[in-house]
Structure 1
């Protein structure tokens, strides 16, 4: 029996009433609607010291920012503050372990965490400390279930936010506190099972991506014929290559040139929404697959004349930011000096794309052994194995066929994760609004848990 199907055996409560909150809907007759400001002894926030100097940081009191709110228990943070900092800034106070924190600003709005230790926060976190009528773990699940509705209460343009007053005014549905604890325990158990299933699918996706990369790497370095006679390439990352392949520098296969930027790059005269050439940023390439299909800006005629113009189906490579990411244009695009390109390449550029995409060609090129340091010379100085033209086409066709197979499996796993996440949210929402009655639920024994894990 799965974590999802087991919940079907739970019945609804005998009788319901209107909660008075549209997005909560009906709740069991004996449940209450608690305004957080009335239920909690304290709802607070924090602040950020004026500098990151050791004068304020380096102590032993965890300082929670929205980056630490990851839907889990927070037992430590990237930065700690000192007792002097707490004493100096009146907006800072130490909140007890067990407190619930929610992000109020920007991209992290609605993100949650529970303090596993006493801690303080910055101003972007809203903290609920303790209550005589609300179980904090129950509150965590309730806020999780309705966080999109809470986010919808936000205001602001580019950086929407909710404030402490809006959080304090939230009305939450809740039974008596003992039932809340039962609900929290039930959800701990059920969501853990769903999370385990999600983790398995995420691991599958990781393995499929690794296998896809291994297939690409093997095809562009060893070819497709396992019986082919081999020779030592003399290149560490290549190892042995088919005997009939050439081993050559990329610079002998094509010139390697760098892009260019109009200066200053923020001058509006260089941009035109209706411009002929797309303006390619590192972020555009980082989020792209093989092909550059989307950019956020276009250059004016003047801007394009001061950059490097590529036509459709040209290969280029990032050498800044997301270093070593290859991409192929699908239409006219300009690249800046954070990229290199290959203007005289006369083989199918997908072969070189796959060599870069496999990542193995960069081994040994790292600055201090860690950070890639690419430029026209280092890229041109990479040695590759080069098959005959007809074999290049066969290799590309094989890789594309294998990629389709792996992509379908990955897509299926991603869809499965989305479905489980949706059902997880629906389960939490149903339980914290009383649509499912779990008062008679009992935690399984160790033996029952073992059976669940193998089911």
Structure 2
């Protein structure tokens, strides 16, 4: 191993080199004049996919002549809105010829294995490398700025071996994730079924039933009753109070402020970086939550 000279990379194999991006890639710019290509592509969750314009998801241009024609193995980077969005996956590998918005940067190379660099730039993306390249001022990166990005360059044969290994490994992991998601969906459905059956029919499978009078509830145990929510609650409170809060009211590690993002899978998960001081809490008494209360 040897020192790469790049702090966030550290050591690299002895036979590898460090080269600026412009020595390996050039920016591909080929406008779709006369609507030569009609296969519309988009970058979604780190993958380049065909875009369905009939769903009306997202803005569409007046003409797709402004779009950029890209080829298989080109690498696409979305380097816009860097300051406001630090969660999106911003790189993708083109798997078929098509057109994509010219707001994105398209890279094409000569005599190199693009799949390796696709994985490398994806790694850079996950490490949030792109976000510091604009010195914290610019929200967009142009190719001229990106071109100075240092890239790891193994020997060409090793690039191919690494790409082949990661293709196989990632395909296996994706397959495992799909199976896990399917299992989770089945478990969620089973959980919902258990809850629904128990709260509407009870624990005794042989109990006599009667009509609840509520179509979406159906039959209930004979000894049960249907009543309105208001008869079971001493108070039902509601109403936004954000306009009553000011920047100085927010502190850390005191009384948490609950909003919809804190309600997840039957639980309230408080964020103790978004809390209110005791004076503000006492001022907003009618909004205080207590153990055992239910939040919709």
* TM-score after normalising by structure 1: 0.50
Q: Find the residue that maps to 1:189 and give its secondary structure.
A: helix
1:198 aligns with 2:184: no
Q: Find the residue that maps to 2:287 and give its secondary structure.
A: strand
Change (3 A) 1:159 1:216: farther
Q: Find the residue that maps to 1:173 and give its secondary structure.
A: strand
Paired residue for 1:250, among 192, 216, 229? 229
Runs of 4+ in structure 1 off by over 6 angstroms are 156-161, 274-277
Looking at structure 2, the residues matched to 249 and 277 of structure 1 have their Cα atoms a distance apart, in angstroms, of: 32
How far apart are 1:158 and its partner, in Å? 11
Change (3 A) 1:302 1:253: same
Larger fraction in helix: 1
How far apart are 1:219 and its partner, in Å? 1.6
Equivalent residues of 2:22, 2:148 under 8 A apart: yes
Looking at structure 2, the residues matched to 229 and 165 of structure 1 have their Cα atoms a distance apart, in angstroms, of: 77
Change (3 A) 1:183 1:232: same
How far apart are 1:177 and its partner, in Å? 4.1
Report 1:80-119 matches (<5 A): 80-83=60-63, 86=66, 93-104=68-79, 105=82, 106-108=85-87, 111-115=90-94, 116-119=96-99
Change (3 A) 1:174 1:133: farther
Report the equivalent of 1:309: 287
1:73 aligns with 2:48: yes
Report the equivalent of 1:187: 166
Looking at structure 1, the residues matched to 13 and 247 of structure 2 have their Cα atoms a distance apart, in angstroms, of: 59
Report the equivalent of 2:276: 298
Looking at structure 2, the residues matched to 228 and 159 of structure 1 have their Cα atoms a distance apart, in angstroms, of: 68
Summarize deviations over 1:385-429 as a string: whole Å, max 9, x none. xxxxxxxxxxxxxxxxxxxxxxxxxxxxxxxxxxxxxxxxxxxxx
Paired residue for 1:137, among 109, 115, 124? 115
How far apart are 1:75 and its partner, in Å? 2.4
Aligned residues between the structures: 277
* TM-score after normalising by structure 2: 0.73
Task: Decide which moves more: 291-300 or 33-42.
Answer: 291-300
How far apart are 1:220 and its partner, in Å? 0.9
Question: Of the two structures, which has the highest relative contact order with CA contacts closer than 8 Å and spacing of 6 or more?
Answer: 1
Change (3 A) 1:62 1:300: farther
Q: Find the residue that maps to 2:250 and give its secondary structure.
A: coil
Equivalent residues of 1:60, 1:80 under 8 A apart: no
Report 1:18-417 matches (<5 A): 19-22=4-7, 23=9, 25-27=11-13, 29=15, 31-42=16-27, 60=38, 62=40, 64=42, 68-76=43-51, 78=57, 80-83=60-63, 86=66, 93-104=68-79, 105=82, 106-108=85-87, 111-115=90-94, 116-121=96-101, 123=103, 125-128=104-107, 130-147=108-125, 148=127, 150-151=129-130, 153-154=132-133, 164-177=143-156, 179-254=158-233, 257-262=236-241, 265-266=242-243, 272-273=249-250, 279-285=257-263, 287=264, 289-291=266-268, 293-294=270-271, 296-298=274-276, 305=283, 308-317=286-295, 326=296
Change (3 A) 1:220 1:73: same
Equivalent residues of 2:116, 2:163 under 8 A apart: yes
Give RMSD over aligned pairs. Answer: 4.0
Looking at structure 1, the residues matched to 244 and 234 of structure 2 have their Cα atoms a distance apart, in angstroms, of: 31
How far apart are 1:196 and its partner, in Å? 0.9
How far apart are 1:108 and its partner, in Å? 3.9
Looking at structure 2, the residues matched to 176 and 273 of structure 1 have their Cα atoms a distance apart, in angstroms, of: 54
